[in-house]
Each structure stands twice: as structure tokens, then as C-alpha cells.
């Protein structure tokens, strides 16, 4: 059974509890971050912890430990589990409140380590489908635990045999997936929405760093009307890594197969993670 860290204690998953009066439960107030290991090593842990700090700062939540202390707790929790590769979810809850809404001084840290599950191989060999959803993410720079819009959009995606929903703002611009960043090729130019409009994904930044050696990078808004002009599309995230997309809504992307440029990005990412040592 997986071992979690819960507010000062390492406990078995079925013994992991927090108060029902925690603000995360009664108000949905909290932040989290998510990453995985490669070769047993947390992938860009420092970057994820920096983002956790930023998320907490944006919503006015005080972290219960320093970044260095949280890093040590993550590593200690990982060491108590025995998976070939692990997912790591770091959650900071709002803690208890004197009036049930005002944050107090008792935020709680949770670290949950689980086994990495493989995604369907067909996504990577044949490509997948996404849909678009007209939703403006509240405070996109913060990775908060408020996932109601994402859950609703994901349910609709599943209903349409898609693996993800891409948020579209009120002006028709494509933003990001519910749990991923969005990329497209027009010719050799790799295009992705700018960071001030989306959550700054850690995998997103790794992809851009790898890709800039071979492709011109353009960070700009992409309008929904441009979908038919896109030669290739892919998503990037900690869970899915790099996934080629061959349909957006009912529109076929390119020739309906993973494109050569996307396959090159996939290879660059694989090479990077295979050799990752921190």
C-alpha cells in the first residue's frame, strides 16, 4: 500500500485523513502541484516547488514549510514507497478557519506518492482527439484545487471520445488543456500560447527548451479560427508527456496522422527523460 505524508506523519493510504473542517473541504481553498519520476528521480522538483510557492502566493495561502523543507519531505515520502516510477502530488490545504472562510495559520501539507500508470499506446502511435470548451480559467497562474470547470470539460471530452478539452476564452483564443499545455506547428514554427494566459507548465518549458534547438518558437495567441491552418498539434503534461493530436473537435489536423515534427519533439523528450538524473 502507498505511503503518504499527511501534516507531519507518514501514513498508509487508507489511514490518510484531514479534518472535515479544513478549508480545502468546505471551501475548496488550497493549491497543489504534480510531477513524476524518471529513473526514480523527481522530474524538475525544484521548478515544481517554485510553482507551488507562486500558486500559494497568488491565492494568499501561506505555506507551512520552506521550499527546502518540502523538498526533503517529498524525497522522504518517495523513499518510503517502492515503485519503479512514481507520481508525486503535493497539496497545501487551507487548514482550519475561525469562521469557516477566512484562512487561519494552520495550512496542511500532503504528499501523495503513487505508481505511474502507462497511457494508451495508441495515443502516441496514431494520435488522439481533443475538443474545445469555452471556459476562461480563473487565475490561470495558480494551480489551485478548484477543478470544477476542468471536471465538467473532461466529462464532455470523454462523451466525445476525446482525451482532453482545450479552454477557449471569450474572444475565441485557444489557451490550454484542463491538465496540459497546447502546442501547434504551422510549417516549422512551433506555436504555443504565452505564459501570461496559461498555467506555466514545467513540461511545457522542458519541451520549449528542447525544441528551440531545432525549431523557431513563437509564443502567441492562437485563435479557434486558425485550427484548420495548423499542420500539427500536440499536448504536453507530466502525466501524458508529449501526445500527438490528430483531431480538434471535428477538424482533422494535417493528414490525420502524427506529424514528423511532433514525432521529433516526442523523441527529444524521450531522450531527455531516459537520461534524466536530476
How many CA atoms within 13 Å lie on the side-chain side of 196? Answer: 3
* CATH code of the domain occupying 121-274: 3.20.10.10
Query: In Å, how far are 33, 46, 189, 269 from 208, measured between CA atoms?
Result: 20, 18, 12, 10
* CATH code of the domain occupying 3-115: 3.30.470.10
Instruction: Name the 3-class secondary structure at 55.
Output: helix
pTM score of the predicted model: 0.95
**Which pLDDT score, from 0 to 100, does residue 33 have?**
98
Query: In Å, how far are 11, 13, 85, 137 from 166, measured between CA atoms?
Result: 37, 32, 28, 11
Q: Which cell numbers hold the place of 27?
A: 471551501
Q: Give residue for cell 469557516.
A: 100
**Which pLDDT score, from 0 to 100, does residue 138 have?**
83
Consecutive H or E run containing 189:
strand 189-192
Q: Are strands 189-192 and 181-186 parallel, antiparallel or unpaired?
A: antiparallel
**Which pLDDT score, from 0 to 100, does residue 160 have?**
98
Instruction: Name the 3-class secondary structure at 57.
Output: helix
pLDDT by position in tens, the chain (length 278): 999 999 999 999 999 999 999 999 999 999 999 999 999 999 999 999 999 999 999 999 999 999 999 999 999 999 999 999 999 999 999 999 999 999 988 999 999 999 999 999 999 999 999 999 999 888 889 999 999 999 999 999 999 999 999 999 999 999 999 999 999 999 999 999 999 889 999 999 999 999 999 999 999 999 999 999 999 999 999 999 999 999 999 999 999 999 999 999 999 999 999 999 98
Q: How many CB atoms lie within 10 A of CB 256?
A: 10
Instruction: Name the 3-class secondary structure at 154.
Output: helix
Distance CA 51, CA 55 (A): 6
**Burial class of residue 153, CB neighbours in 10 A (0-12, 13-18, 19+):** buried
Is residue 93 a contact partner of residue 59, using CB atoms and an 8 Å limit? no
Q: Which cell numbers hold the place of 80?
A: 518510503
Q: Tell me, what DSSP letter sits at residue 13?
A: G
Is residue 176 a contact partner of residue 196, using CB atoms and an 8 Å limit? no
What residue segments make up the domains of the chain, in order of their start? 3-115, 121-274
Distance CA 208, CA 265 (A): 9
Backbone angles phi, psi at 34, to 5 degrees: -145, 135
**Which pLDDT score, from 0 to 100, does residue 197 have?**
87
Point out which residues pair with 252 in neighbouring strands.
Answer: 247
Amino acid at each position: 500500500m502507498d505511503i503518504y505524508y499527511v501534516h507531519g506523519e507518514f501514513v498508509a493510504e487508507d489511514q490518510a485523513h484531514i479534518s472535515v473542517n479544513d478549508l480545502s473541504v468546505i471551501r475548496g481553498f488550497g493549491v497543489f502541484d504534480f510531477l513524476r519520476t524518471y529513473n526514480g528521480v523527481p522530474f524538475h522538483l525544484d521548478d515544481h516547488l517554485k510553482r507551488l510557492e507562486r500558486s500559494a502566493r497568488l491565492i494568499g495561502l501561506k505555506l507551512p514549510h520552506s521550499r527546502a523543507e518540502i523538498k526533503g519531505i517529498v524525497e522522504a515520502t518517495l523513499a518510503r514507497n517502492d515503485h519503479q516510477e512514481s507520481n508525486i502530488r503535493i497539496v497545501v490545504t487551507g487548514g482550519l478557519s475561525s469562521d469557516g472562510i477566512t484562512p487561519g495559520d494552520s495550512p496542511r501539507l500532503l504528499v501523495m506518492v503513487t505508481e505511474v500508470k502507462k497511457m494508451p499506446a495508441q495515443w502516441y502511435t496514431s494520435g488522439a482527439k481533443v475538443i474545445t470548451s469555452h471556459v476562461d480559467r480563473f487565475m490561470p497562474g495558480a494551480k489551485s484545487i478548484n477543478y470544477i470547470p476542468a471536471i465538467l470539460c473532461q466529462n464532455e471530452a470523454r462523451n466525445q471520445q476525446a482525451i482532453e478539452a482545450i479552454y477557449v476564452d471569450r474572444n475565441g483564443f485557444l489557451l490550454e488543456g484542463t491538465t496540459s499545455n497546447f502546442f501547434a506547428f504551422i510549417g516549422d514554427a512551433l506555436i504555443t500560447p504565452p505564459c501570461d494566459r496559461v498555467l506555466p507548465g514545467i513540461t511545457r518549458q522542458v519541451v520549449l527548451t528542447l525544441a528551440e534547438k531545432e525549431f523557431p518558437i513563437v509564443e502567441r495567441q492562437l485563435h479557434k479560427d486558425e485550427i484548420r491552418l495548423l499542420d500539427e498539434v500536440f499536448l504536453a503534461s507530466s502525466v501524458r508527456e508529449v501526445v500527438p493530436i490528430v483531431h480538434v473537435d471535428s477538424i482533422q489536423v494535417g493528414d490525420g496522422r502524427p506529424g514528423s515534427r511532433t514525432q521529433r519533439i516526442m523523441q527529444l523528450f524521450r531522450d531527455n527523460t531516459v537520461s534524466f538524473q536530476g
